[in-house]
């Protein structure tokens, strides 16, 4: 009798998992998997990374460390994480500073070419959370999009969606690394997927060698203090004389380590997501307008975009640095 009950429970769990994954794909996510919430196998590495000062001014990572190392602590009662990937690659629509493009325009990482992904995916994840509660009545859920103490990449790897490359990006073998990771924590009884065990980077060092600021202290170890994305987004203070040249021509973020990754070169395909369409005013922003515009105008134009994170002061600092770097004599 006991074996029969257990078999019935497992069959129901399996059916629920298939239903939830189907609902996720129908909502527009490109891939979905289910991860367990046991303590993070990279916990010691996180401690070493923080102790080395590689987090720079991101002090919130120190406060979040305990939950990042043990994700079951994030939501009381949570049993699994439903992890989603959303492709944001734009490929042939790529703006930037290719030959012929006006030097008055700034260079922006692809993930920021559209409306703020936190809002787009946040709404989508809430709909997925509703689907989980409909599939498993009484279930509790909590959604996260690149926020809070969630170790997204580790959970995605644990959910079978890819492996973590030498540049610390999750690499999906079918899509590359130009993807947003979304997570729904839940106490629903869902069957976890087998983790992605293989490391398919092999001996490749393309991402490490291409980094314009040598921000990787070692494979899988990023010194954020030298990372262009950190400097232009997370770093709040004015740039020092040493930091300003590191930014180069990047106004917001950086894609260099992803652009050279062979998995992206071969497998990344343009997104067809209507909610992630390119907006020219943020894909190719006018540097002079950023410097001269009023704060209210900035908020009206960019308040629903990733530019809101550094805000008007941070974006003006970035624009001034890009212009100064272009004016510097080349060695």
CB 226 within 8 A of CB 246: yes
DSSP class of residue 231?
A: I
Cα distance between residue 62 and residue 129, in whole Å: 29
Q: Which of 146, 174, 273, 286 is catalytic?
A: 146
Is residue 146 part of the annotated active site? The answer reads: yes
Cα distance between residue 118 and residue 124, in whole Å: 10
Measured in whole angstroms, the distance separating CA 99 from the mean position of its chain's CA atoms is: 29
Cα distance between residue 54 and residue 72, in whole Å: 26
The total number of residues shown for the chain amounts to 331
CB 192 within 8 A of CB 37: no
Question: Helices (DSSP H) in the chain: which residue ranges?
Answer: 2-26, 43-51, 60-69, 117-135, 152-158, 206-210, 228-229, 244-247, 256-259, 262-267, 280-283, 287-292, 295-302, 311-327
| 295-302 vs 311-327: helix crossing angle, rounded to 10 | 100
Cα distance between residue 288 and residue 190, in whole Å: 52
Distances (CA, A) of 291 to 45, 164, 260, 299: 40, 37, 31, 14
Cα distance between residue 29 and residue 13, in whole Å: 22
Return the bridge partners of 222, or none: 216
Cα distance between residue 182 and residue 147, in whole Å: 10
Phi, psi of 21, deg, nearest 5? -65, -40
Query: Residues with catalytic annotation?
Result: 146
């Amino acid at each position: 009798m006991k074996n029969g009950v257990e078999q019935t429970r497992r069959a129901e769990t399996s059916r629920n998992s298939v239903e939830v994954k189907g609902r996720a794909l129908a909502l527009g996510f490109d891939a979905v998997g289910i991860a367990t919430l046991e303590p993070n196998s990279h916990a010691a590495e996180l401690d070493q990374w923080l102790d080395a000062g590689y987090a720079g001014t991101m002090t919130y990572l120190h406060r979040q460390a305990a939950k990042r190392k043990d994700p079951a602590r994030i939501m009381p009662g949570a049993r699994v994480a439903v992890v989603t990937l959303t492709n944001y690659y734009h490929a042939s629509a790529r703006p930037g500073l290719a030959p012929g493009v006006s030097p008055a325009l700034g260079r922006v990482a692809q993930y920021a070419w559209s409306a703020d992904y936190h809002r787009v995916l946040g709404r989508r994840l809430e709909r997925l959370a509703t689907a989980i509660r409909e599939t498993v009545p009484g279930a509790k859920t909590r959604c996260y999009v690149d926020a809070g103490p969630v170790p997204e990449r580790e959970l995605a790897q644990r959910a079978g969606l890819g492996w973590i490359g030498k540049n610390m990006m999750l690499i999906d073998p079918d899509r590359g690394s130009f993807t947003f990771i979304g997570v729904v924590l839940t106490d629903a009884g869902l069957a976890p997927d087998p983790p992605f065990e293989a490391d398919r980077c092999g001996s490749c060092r393309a991402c490490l060698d291409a980094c314009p600021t040598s921000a990787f202290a070692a494979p899988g170890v990023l010194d954020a203090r030298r990372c262009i994305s950190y400097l232009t987004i997370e770093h709040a203070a004015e740039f020092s004389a040493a930091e300003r040249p590191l930014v180069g021509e990047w106004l917001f973020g950086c894609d260099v380590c992803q652009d050279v990754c062979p998995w992206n070169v071969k497998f990344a395909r343009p997104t067809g997501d209507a909610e992630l369409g390119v907006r020219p005013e943020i894909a190719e922003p006018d540097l002079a307008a950023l410097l001269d515009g009023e704060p209210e105008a900035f908020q009206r134009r960019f308040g629903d975009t990733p530019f809101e994170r550094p805000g008007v002061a941070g974006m003006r600092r970035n624009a001034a640095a890009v212009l100064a770097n272009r004016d510097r004599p080349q060695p």
